């Protein structure tokens, strides 16, 4: 669980940095770049990274391929 917490905190920090970049774009009045940044760029990537970490944490006892652990074969 400690590994999950560390990964989650790193992802949140990265998302926070991207949000700061977005704020800068908006503050400068560069809406086209801000929209691109949100829809195709870094902010979208950071959000998806965080979403993946959360989704993986909710799989419970599923293995890496999304199937239940089968134990010894």
Q: Locate 41 and state its tokens.
A: 């760029």
Whether the CB-CB separation of 33 and 27 falls below 8 Å is answered with: no
Count up the domains in the chain and report the number. Answer: 1
Give the residue numbers spanning the domain of 44. Answer: 31-57
SS3 73: coil
Examine residue 43 and state whether it is found in any structural domain, yes or no.
yes
Q: Whose structure tokens read 């989704």?
A: 55
Note the pLDDT of residue 58. Answer: 75
Examine residue 47 and state whether it is found in any structural domain, yes or no.
yes
Examine residue 39 and state whether it is found in any structural domain, yes or no.
yes
Examine residue 46 and state whether it is found in any structural domain, yes or no.
yes
Examine residue 19 and state whether it is found in any structural domain, yes or no.
no
pLDDT at residue 71 greater than cutoff 50: no
Q: pLDDT tens digit string along 29-66?
A: 999 999 999 999 999 999 999 999 888 877 655 555 55
**DSSP secondary structure letter of residue 62:** B
Torsion angle defined by CA atoms of residues 28, 33, 36 and 37, in that order, rounded to the nearest 10 degrees:
-50
Examine residue 40 and state whether it is found in any structural domain, yes or no.
yes
């Amino acid at each position: 669980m400690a590994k999950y917490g560390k990964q989650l905190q790193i992802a949140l920090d990265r998302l926070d940095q991207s949000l700061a970049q977005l704020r800068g774009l908006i503050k400068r009045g560069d809406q086209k770049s801000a929209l691109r940044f949100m829809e195709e760029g870094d902010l979208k990537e950071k959000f998806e990274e965080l979403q993946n970490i959360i989704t993986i944490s909710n799989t419970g006892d599923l293995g890496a391929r999304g199937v239940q652990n089968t134990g010894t074969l």
